[in-house]
Every structure is written in structure tokens, then in C-alpha cells.
Amino acid sequence: MTRSDVSDVIVIGAGMVGAMTAYHCAAAGLRVTVLERDAVAGGTTSACEGNILVSDKEPGPELDLALLSIRRWQELADELGADSLEYQAKGGVVVAMSDDTGAGLTAFTASQRAAGIDAQDVSSAQLREREPNLSPDARSGAYYPQDAQVQPMLATARLLRAVRDLGGTVRTGTEVTGFVERGVATSAGIVHAEHVVNAAGTWAGQVSELAGAPVPVLPRKGFILVTEPLPRTIRHKVYTAEYVANVASSDAGLETSVVVEGTKAGTVLIGASRERVGFDRSMSLPVVRKLAAQAIEVFPFLADVALLRSYLGFRPYCPDHLPVLGPDPRVPGLVHACGHEGAGIGLAAGTGHLIAQVLTGKEPDLDLTPFRPHRFEEAPA
């Protein structure tokens, strides 16, 4: 066994979650090896939007993780350079297109404020001050100064670069094919470590089965539209209040509620749909049409703007819509960091921080009980 094949921690998956976990572990002094079957950020991290949101979260454990994550993202932007991650604390604007939705939104923001989110109710006039190109039909809304954005692939690649600079190893093109005593078998031989972190995203269910400790992580398909580059016409991440209802929904059918945002490159991203159709990679025109229509409802000027491309990804979701975090009591040494669904970019910072605390024997800043890996096997109370 060569020295380089022994680490303190193996992280399976070089997506945002794996990279964050590896970075926090390496920064805490652990020897880390990241194993990725594809390329850097080759999974869902290369097929998402990079929103770091608190605005869409209801009070509960996910919100606690989101608040911790948003603080960590801000610190990381200071440590690594906001520009190098294309991190922008641009704030979120949620728009109610009807008075009914507006009333619901006001109630929602009240509950969010109570839970520690900076959620500000705004009038239609204030909305237009924030977003001059917004539809005149927008009735009221909420402003969330904490919402931010990052370029997910770039951030992942930078973090993995930092891991290497801290003495860690990143092996792409290396698939984990099984678990062995204190380590894993890969397509390029056996790698040993005290701990193995399952950060395999939407494929974490398969990896958990290889380990003999299954966790139910399933794909939830989403499309994103990308427009031609525009001047800075959209300042915040803007979405309709209906989005909040969809995120938490368990409906298997198609749901779309639009999130519109500008990027540093000038393109506008329009996302995202949510469908449970397995790993079906086909393009669906009806979904794309619906997203376009919803975006135009919020920003009418987009009707004349060209669609440049579209892409799709598969969110890793668990039946209860919470991620799976922490040591698995069924397999000593196995730790999970997966199932972040449509918020893995945002939640990755807190996730990496907590997993590193666990692996260095510290008390985690957040109670991990709601995220425990074996919760799906427990008899309902």
C-alpha cells in the first residue's frame, strides 16, 4: 500500500457538496482524497443555477442549515475571493402577481422573520424601484437581502483547487465500485481511509447500496433556459411566490414556477421545472414553453429576447425533502452528505462545515438529528 493511497477521509463525488466537504476537511487538517467518476463538477452541479437562497425556505431544519450556509458562503467569498467564485450577494425579490398570493406571501414572510430570515415586505412601487423592468401586473412582493448567487462549477473547481493546495488529492475519472474494510474499491484500485463521505449527489442512493446502508435519493428533473446576453436588466434573483409552494411539493407531475436572474456573463437564466421522470435526458418542449411563458409574465420585455440554449439536470431528492447528513450507524466510517435536492449549492457550505466538525470530533454547530441517514428505516411514530 503506497502512502498516497491512505487518507483520513475519502469523499465520493466532486460536485459542490463533495468539494465543500473536502475543503472544510482539508482546512481542518485532515488528509483528503476526492474520488469522482466523471470530471470536476460533472454531475448535477454542472446543470443547475447557483442560487443561494433563504427566501424559499420555511422555518425548520432546512432553514437552519440554509442560514448557517449563507454565513459560511459569505466567509468563503472573503477567504477565496468573491470574484473567483462569481459570488454575488445580490438579494432576492419574490413577486406576487395576484392579491391572494400577496396575502399568502405576507403571512409567509412573517413566519420567516420569526425564524431569523431578513424578509422585507415591499409594495408594488418599491418592487419597481428594485426591478424597473418588472411587469406592471406585479402586486406586491418581498425583498430578501440575504439571498446570493454563485457560479457553481467555478466555485466547485476553485474549492477543489484549494483542497489540492492544502495537500489533498482529487482524482477524476475514478469510479467507486464497492466498499472494502476501511476504504473503497475504485475503477483504479483500492483507496483506504478512516472515513468515507458519500457525496455522490443524485447517485448517492447507488453508492449507499454499495456500502450496504441504503438511503433513498432519487432524481427530480429540471430544465433551465438561457437567453442571449443582455445588459444588466435584471438585478436580483426574481421569482414568483408560487415557487415557494412548488419547492415543498411532493407532486410527481410537472411543476414550473419561474426564477429569473441575470448572470455576470449577461445571459439571463430562467428556471426551473420540477418533474419526477427518472433519469430521462430528453428535451421537453412543453416544459420549455411553460418556463418561457412564466418568465414573460414577470418580465414582459423577455418576449423579444432570444433563447440561446437550455439544459437539464437531476436534483437529488429524498422523500421527506431533507438532505441526508452525518455518520451512518449501520456502517462504521460511512458518512453521508447528499440529498440536497434543489438547494445543494446553497446548502453545501453548511454541509461541508458540519461534516468536517463531525470528522474532527467536534460538536456540530447544528443538530444533525433531522438529517440522520437511517431515518427512512425507522418505524413511523
Partner 1 sequence: MRFTFDGKAIPAEPGQSIGAALIAAGHRSWRRTRIDAAPRGIFCGIGICHDCLVTVDGAANRRACLVEAAEDMRVTTQEGAGRAELEC
Partner 2 sequence: MPNSSAERNEYDVAVIGAGPAGLAAAAAAADTGVSVALVDSGPRPGGQYWRHRTGDDGTHHHDWAEFTRLRARIREVDHLAEHAVWHIEPGFTVHATGRDPVRARRLVLAPGAHDRQLPFPGWTLPGVYTAGGVQALLKGHGVLAGKRIVVAGTGPFLLAVAAGLLDAGAGVAGVFEAGTPAGFARHPLAVAGALGKLGEGAGYLRVVGRRYRTRTMVIAAHGTGELSGVTVAKVDANWQVVPGTERDVACDALAVGYGFTPQLELPLQLGCATRLDADGSLVATADDRQMSTVEGVFLAGEVCGVGGSALAVTEGLIAGRHAAGVSAGSRLLRRRRAQRRFAGALHQAFPLRRGWLDRVGADTVVCRCEEVRHRAVTAAVDDLGATDPRTVKLLARPGMGLCQGRVCGFATACVVADRLGRTLIEADLRGLAARPVAQPVTLGELAG
Ligand X SMILES: Cc1cc2nc3c(=O)[nH]c(=O)nc-3n(C[C@H](O)[C@H](O)[C@H](O)COP(=O)(O)OP(=O)(O)OC[C@H]3O[C@@H](n4cnc5c(N)ncnc54)[C@H](O)[C@@H]3O)c2cc1C
What 3-state DSSP class applies to 109?
helix
| 188-to-11, 13, 164, 174 alpha-carbon distances in Å | 15, 15, 19, 6
Q: Which of 47, 148, 295, 359 binds ligand X (CB under 6 A)?
A: 47
Give whichever of 167 and 229 is closer to partner 1, judged by the CB atom: 229
- Is 81 a binding residue for partner 2 by CB under 8 A? The answer is no
Give whichever of 36 and 261 is closer to partner 1, judged by the CB atom: 261
Q: Which of 81, 132, 167, 173 binds partner 2 (CB under 8 A)?
A: 173
Segment lying near ligand X (by CB under 6 A), choices 14-22, 60-68, 79-87, 136-144 = 14-22
Rounded-to-integer distance, Cα 270 and Cα 228, Å: 12
Minimum Å distance from CB 149 to partner 1?
Answer: 18
Q: What's the 3-state SS for 77-97?
A: HHHHCHHHHCCECCCEEEEEC
Minimum Å distance from CB 229 to partner 1?
Answer: 5
Rounded-to-integer distance, Cα 89 and Cα 74, Å: 8
70 burial level (CB within 10 Å; 0-12, 13-18, 19+): buried
Side-chain half-sphere CA neighbours of 40 within 13 A: 16
Q: Where are the beta strands (DSSP E) in 104-188?
A: 120-123, 140-144, 148-149, 169-171, 176-180, 183-186
| 132-to-38, 142, 254 alpha-carbon distances in Å | 42, 15, 31
Q: Taking CB under 6 A as the criterion, which residues in 161-190 touch ligand X?
A: 175-176
- The mark string for 177-216 relative to partner 2 (x by CB under 8 A, - otherwise) is ----------------------------------------
Give whichever of 112 and 149 is closer to ligand X, judged by the CB atom: 149
**Partners of 327 in beta bridges:** 335
- Is 11 a binding residue for partner 2 by CB under 8 A? The answer is no
- The mark string for 255-284 relative to partner 1 (x by CB under 8 A, - otherwise) is -----------x------------------
- Is 342 a binding residue for ligand X by CB under 6 A? The answer is yes
- Whether 180 and 132 have beta carbons less than 8 Å apart is answered as no
Minimum Å distance from CB 355 to partner 1?
Answer: 39
Total of chain residues touching partner 1, rule CB under 8 A: 12
Binding site residues, ligand X, CB under 6 A: 12-18, 35-38, 42-45, 47-51, 175-176, 199-203, 207, 222, 224, 271-272, 313-316, 338, 340-346
